[in-house]
Amino acid sequence: MTRQWITTTWSQSADWLLGRDMAAVVVANPDDPRPIAEVTGSQEVAFDQPQGRTHHVFGYPTINERNYYRPGNVPATLQRTFDGRSLMVTQGTTHNDPVYYNDVMAGAQSPGCSGGALLQNFDSATGEGVQVGVFSRYDDPAQIIGILGWVQGPNMSSTHFGTEEQAVYDAAQAANTA
């Protein structure tokens, strides 16, 4: 049986304005007894890590009306087409969003990347890092610049793993060992 858990904040209002956009899933396959991490791979997970560090965000973007690089939104030389099948990585220094407890980074990964890992200490030679968050949304540049005055251009927000996310993770771990 496959089971899922979500944060309390997200379950009360699945609205990105409140943040805490995170879930944990335990996948059971009676035809294959191996843990899913042996099939898909996995990363170390950490909670309550300092913010404002260099991070990497991974995802599989698609081209749609919310893609910053779509035709008509940027000059032809900057346009990018994404098919949802190619892995994209964005690296940068995150900023603490004091309102939503998110990690915000300059970049423009579009829908299709939601749920992608936010990794610190990523080693491109080994493909390993420590997951400290999960990509949640792309923010319109005017909103972020106008409110917080960080960087010009598009920004991405990732839910930062704190105590609420750790409670979800721990519940899934406990169910997985039961």
pLDDT exceeds cutoff 80 at 32: yes
Given this model, what pLDDT does residue 66 score?
62
| pLDDT band, residue 34 (cuts 50/70/90) | confident
Mean per-residue pLDDT, 91-112: 76
CA distance linking residue 44 with residue 22, whole number of Å: 16
- The per-residue pLDDT for 144 is 47
- Predicted local distance difference test score (pLDDT) of residue 68: 65
Does residue 133 have a pLDDT over 80? yes
Collect all residues with Cβ–Cβ distance below 8 Å to 56 and sequence separation of at least 6.
89, 90, 91, 118, 119, 122, 129
R_g of the chain, CA atoms, integer Å: 17
pLDDT for position 142: 47
Based on the number of CB atoms within 10 Å of its own CB, is 150 exposed (0-12), middle (13-18) or buried (19 or more)? middle
pTM value is 0.80
Computed over every residue of the chain, the mean pLDDT equals 79
- Close Cβ partners of 129 (under 8 Å, ≥ 6 residues apart): 43, 44, 56, 117, 119, 120, 121, 122, 123
Please tell me the distance from the alpha carbon of residue 53 to that of residue 25, in angstroms, as a whole number: 27
pLDDT of residue 169: 93
Query: Which of 34-38, 40-44, 126-130, 153-157 is predicted with the least confidence, judged by mean pLDDT?
Result: 153-157
- pLDDT average, residue stretch 19-30: 82
Q: Inform me whether the pLDDT recorded for 145 exceeds 60.
A: no
Q: 104 with 90: CB under 8 angstroms? A: no
Length of the chain: 178
Mean pLDDT of 71-81: 71
Q: What does the pLDDT read at residue 165?
A: 93
